[in-house]
Structure 1
């Protein structure tokens, strides 16, 4: 038996031990980035979509780059300057509570993938949402309201199910999102050194004709969230 086979057997025995003890075990994919596969899909990088941010939906306290691929929250000083001008326009398509923004691209079929660099960001929200999901005020942005997202808050990474599911993993520097409309799945990956590790997988019903959009959020004023 080769060393690689011994390691594989040990991992399998450890996994079985955790399952018998009732411990939550996150699925893991450790193939090289260019060859990683899930649910029978080809290499995820071949599915990559160019996602841009829809400024019409942005919370006014978010600063969006000119290329619509980067965002951060305004600092207190920047916000004070803005509030002296006629900058705030309340609109049904705009987030006016949570510091979030929707993507421009909406999907009603197919398989889609994008990555987000969140290196050093202390608070973020990444995932997808139904077109009709609430944006006004501080409604719950979880599976009960049409959101499938991960959230990092106060050092805790959670999947926003109902109730939330705490994820006991090391914090990634880059997150990949795979939306599979046919399979009804939203899968999140931690990307690190050309390796892809599955963080969490949501099951969802996308059988109606409603579009699904990427969604992003952060309260960090120093580091930008960057869509790769």
Structure 2
């Protein structure tokens, strides 16, 4: 931990040299050096974190062996048999029990919007989760993940393993997610109508990242989008 603290201090000094001073909130507003404790190891995500228009790819290091990334790591495809778990690189960030993959960017502030195209999938979950969430859990089953799910032709909101039905949503072809980290909310959006369908209240305390679970078909992410004016 002492080494981690020294690295954090060094990282902040480097950012201070590169980012113009804009008051006491310069680090929060302009850049983030995020320390993530993951499975007993100290890990840093040093990155620019815009307050809006987040752009991310899917992180292969977290992907379950039944999932394959494609389209330059913006899409994920489910294989029923998947790859032999012993054939994928072993690392503590990978989900071993559930077909889950995370986005590669941590979020600590701001409002962000992205969309997901759904192809031939009848069961999936999309949302956000703590970056250091247990890799033994599935997203939505604990208090460190917040997702919208689709199964048996019905939508639901889910956290702490509790499902709340979401009505007025048909079979999805493309949906949006609006994250308000500071407002502690995650919303499911109809991209065509540019309207909010359902809002979940969350309890974000640590860096979070986009999260996806998939049990058939494929999902493709669309990021770096402007937040629609109506939202």
TM-score, normalised with respect to structure 1: 0.67
Q: Does 1:73 align with 2:50?
A: no
CA distance in 1, matches of 2:181, 2:159: 19
Q: Which structure carries more helix by proportion?
A: 1
Report the structure number with the largest CA radius of gyration: 1
How many residue pairs were aligned?
A: 170
Higher strand share: 2
Is 1:227 the counterpart of 2:226 in the alignment? no
Match of 1:148 among 119, 126, 146: 146
Residue among 214, 218, 224 paired with 2:214: 218
Equivalent in the alignment of 2:106 = 106
Task: Confirm or deny: 8 A CA contact 2:100 2:139 kept in the other structure.
Answer: no
Higher relative contact order (CA 8 A, sep 6+): 1
RMSD over aligned Cα atoms: 2.2
Runs of 4+ in 1 over 3 A off after TM superposition: 88-91
Contact 1:134 1:145 in 2 (8 A): no
Structure 1 position 205, deviation (Å): 2.5
TM-score (norm 2): 0.66
Query: 2:93 is paired with a residue of what secondary structure?
Result: coil
Structure 1 unaligned segments of length 5 or more: list them: 1-45
CA distances 1:183-216 after superposition (whole Å, capped 9, x unpaired): 1111111223xx223222111223x3x2010001
**Alignment counterpart, residue 157 of structure 1, candidates 144, 155, 158:** 155
Which secondary structure does the structure 1 equivalent of 2:191 belong to? strand
Structure 2: where are the runs of 5+ without partners? 1-50, 223-231
For 1:171, the equivalent position in structure 2 comes to 171
- CA-CA distance at 1:55 after TM superposition: 0.4
Q: Could you tell me whether the CA contact under 8 Å between 2:52 and 2:110 is conserved in 1?
A: no
